[in-house]
Amino acid sequence: MRSSFAKSIYVGAAVLGLAGLSAVTTTTASAKSYATAGAYTALADKSQNVTVTGTNAIYSKPGTVKGAKVVASKKTVAKLAASKKSSDTFYAYGTKTTNRGSVYYKIVTMDKKYRGYVYTGKTAGTFTAGIKAAETTTAATTPARTTGYYLKDVSKHTLWTAPKNTDIHAKKVRLYGVAKTDPFTVDKAATKTKEGSLYYHVTDSKDSSISGWIYAGKGYDTTITDNTKQDLGGLSLNIAAATANPDNSVNVVYRDGAKTVSTMTWVNSPVANANPTKAGDSVDGFKDVSSNTLSQFVTNNVPANYKASNIATATAGVKFGNTIYVDVTAAATSKVSFVVDNLALDATSGKEVTQNQADAVAGKLTAGTSLTSKDITATLSPVAKDELSGVKGTQFSPDQLNKIVAGITLGNGTKTYYASNGDAYHYTFAITTKVAKDGAKSNTFATDNRLAFPGDTLKASVTATLTHGAASTAASDNSWIA
C-alpha cells in the first residue's frame, strides 16, 4: 500500500515535470523572431519611376526588421495603385536586403507624402512583388501650329523642367526677364500617363535658354478659327493683358439708372506699349489683346440679360484713364420654335415612307408625325440674334420680327427615312408663306408673333418637303432654337 502510493507520487511528479517543460517550450517558440537588414544601396538609375501593385504595405524599415512601422497600409497602397493622379506615382531610389533574402526598395511618392520600404521579392534588381516600373509620360503629336504661343498666367500654369509630378527632380523654370509679349515655340508634346493630361514643351523665341513643359489643355485645334476659344491650358494665342493703369486703360461702368450692374476694364495691348501711351491720350486706333477696340469691347461685354442703349456716344472721344458709363436696361431673350405645317409626300413616288428602325419610332410617316425644332438644321444671322433680345415688357415691333425671320436660314432635316424599296429620304424645310389675291407672297412669322414680348417663345411655321437622299449631317446652331 505504501509502496503503491509512493510510486504514484513519483509518476505524478514526472507528469507535472513534463507539463512544465512543455509550457516553457511553447513560450519560447512563440517569441518574435526578427530579420536583420543589410546595408543601404542607392540605385544607380536616378530616374527609376514605379507604381505600387497594391499588394504590399510600405514600412519605415524593411517590414520584417524590428521597429518597422507601417507608413501606408495595404488598403492605402491599393488606393495609390488605382489612383489616376501623377502625384501618386513613386520614385524608387534605394534598396536593402534582409538576412532572409527578402529585398526591399525605398520609394517615395512624387508629392513626397509617402516614403518608405516596400517588399519587392527575393532577387535584387528585379520586381516580382510590391512595385513595377512605370513610364510617367507618353509622347504625343506635336500640334499643327508650333509658333505664336504666349504664357497666359504663370501663377496658375508655369513652365516645369518635366511635366509636373512625372519626375521627382522636376522643378519650376525661372522666368526672370520673360515679357508678356514674348512668343513661345512648341517643339514637343506629351501626355501624363495617369491623368492623360496634355503638356507642350515650349521655348521662348526671344531667349532660347528659357524653355520647359506647360499644361496645354485640349491642345491646339485646327478646326477652331477663333483663337480666343482655343483650350490651351497655360498657353494662349493672344498676348496676355497688361496690368491696368491710367496710362493704358479705360474703366467701363454698366448702369441701369442709378444702379451699377457691372464694371469692366479695357486695357491697351502690351504690343502697343513699345511706344507707351499716357493718361489723356486718345484711345482711337488702339486695341486690346483680343484685337478689340474700346467700342467692340463694350459691345461684347454687355451684362447678360441686359441691353445697352448708348454705346456709340459712351465710347466717342474717350481718353486713357477715363471712366465711361454705359446705360443698360433689363432685357429678355426669346427662342424660336419651328412648327411643321405640312409633311409632303415624295413628289416622285407619291409613297409614304417608314422611319428608320434605328429611330425606334414605328409606323407610317404621315401628316402629324412629330418633327420637332431639333430635327431641323438652321442658322441665325448675328443681326437676327441681337433682335431676339429686347427690353423686358416692350413688345416686339414688326421691324424686329422681320429682321429675325430674314436672318433664319433653314437646312435639311437631321433624320433619314426609308421607303419600302430601301430608298433613303430626308426633309427639307422652308418658312411657310401666304399668297395674297394679287399674288404677292409673305411669311407668317410677323403675324403669328405680333403679340409676343422678349422672353416669349416665337413660333416659326415651316413647310417640310420630302426629298431623295440621306439626311444632312451639317452643323446647326441650336442655342436659339426652342
Ordered per-residue pLDDT tens for the chain, 482 residues: 333 323 332 333 333 333 333 333 333 333 468 999 999 999 876 558 999 999 999 999 999 999 999 999 999 999 999 999 999 999 999 999 999 999 999 999 999 999 999 999 998 888 889 999 999 999 999 999 999 999 998 989 999 999 999 999 999 999 998 888 889 999 999 999 999 999 999 999 999 999 999 999 999 999 888 888 899 999 998 887 778 999 999 999 999 999 999 999 999 987 755 678 899 999 999 998 878 999 999 999 998 888 888 999 999 999 999 999 999 988 888 999 888 776 554 444 444 444 433 232 223 343 334 566 677 888 889 888 888 888 778 899 999 999 999 999 888 777 777 665 566 777 788 888 776 666 666 778 888 999 999 889 999 888 877 777 777 766 667 778 87
Residues 360 and 457 in one domain: yes
Per-residue exposure over 399-422, b if at least 16 CB sit within 10 Å of its own CB, e if not: ebbbbbbebbebbbbbbbbbbeee
Which cell numbers in the block locate residue 280?
489723356
Q: What is the pTM of this model?
A: 0.54
Percent of the chain surpassing pLDDT 90: 53
Instruction: Look at residue 35 and tell me if it is in a domain.
Output: no
Q: DSSP labels for 370-398?
A: ---GGGEEEEE-HHHHHHHEEETT-PPPH
Give the integer Cα–Cα distance in Å for 117 and 72.
10
Residues 356 and 438 in one domain: yes
Residues 297 and 396 in one domain: no
Which of 236, 264, 292 corresponds to the end of one domain?
236
Which cell numbers in the block locate residue 366?
404621315
Query: Shortest CA distance to 303 belongs to which of 264, 257, 258?
Result: 264
Query: Shortest CA distance to 298 belongs to which of 321, 280, 315, 313?
Result: 315
Which cell numbers in the block locate residue 320?
486713357
- Domain span at 399: 334-468
Instruction: Look at residue 480 and tell me if it is in a domain.
Output: no
Q: Within 10 A of 276 (CB to CB), how many other CB atoms are there?
A: 10
Sign of the alpha-carbon dihedral angle for 167, 171, 172, 177:
negative
Kindly give the pairing relationship between strand 408-413 and strand 376-380. Answer: antiparallel
pLDDT at position 350: 42
Residues 447 and 328 in one domain: no
Which of 110, 133, 156 corresponds to the end of one domain?
133
Query: Shortest CA distance to 466 belongs to which of 345, 340, 378, 338?
Result: 345
pLDDT at position 65: 95
Residues 95 and 75 in one domain: yes
Instruction: Look at residue 254 and tell me if it is in a domain.
Output: yes
Residues 300 and 324 in one domain: yes
DSSP-assigned letter for residue 463: E
Kindly give the pairing relationship between strand 376-380 and strand 335-343. Answer: unpaired
Residues 306 and 338 in one domain: no
Residues 186 and 222 in one domain: yes
Give the integer Cα–Cα distance in Å for 165 and 323.
46
Residues 444 and 347 in one domain: yes
Residues 338 and 462 in one domain: yes
CATH code for the domain in which residue 195 is found: 2.30.30.170
Give the integer Cα–Cα distance in Å for 327 and 314.
9
Give the integer Cα–Cα distance in Å for 454 and 385.
12
Which of 133, 166, 190 corresponds to the end of one domain?
133
Kindly give the pairing relationship between strand 323-333 and strand 441-443. Answer: unpaired
pLDDT at position 366: 39
What are 245's strand-pairing partners?
Answer: none
- Give the contacts of 20 (CB within 8 A, at least 6 positions apart): none
The alpha helices in 103-225, defined as continuous H runs, are none
Which cell numbers in the block locate residue 369?
408625325
Inter-residue contact 72 to 31 (CB < 8 Å): no
pLDDT at position 418: 67
What's at 115, amino acid-wise? Answer: R
Q: Within 10 A of 302 (CB to CB), how many other CB atoms are there?
A: 19
Instruction: Look at residue 56 and tell me if it is in a domain.
Output: yes
Residues 368 and 454 in one domain: yes
| φ, ψ at 400 (rounded to 5°) | -60, -45
Instruction: Look at residue 241 and tell me if it is in a domain.
Output: no
Residues 357 and 457 in one domain: yes
Find cell 461684347 and name the residue: 300
Sign of the alpha-carbon dihedral angle for 239, 243, 244, 245:
negative
Instruction: Look at residue 404 and tell me if it is in a domain.
Output: yes
Instruction: Look at residue 48 and tell me if it is in a domain.
Output: yes
Can you tell me whether residue 6 is helix, strand or coil? helix
Give the integer Cα–Cα distance in Å for 377 and 389.
22
Instruction: Look at residue 464 and tell me if it is in a domain.
Output: yes
Domain count, the chain: 4
Give the integer Cα–Cα distance in Å for 174 and 180.
15
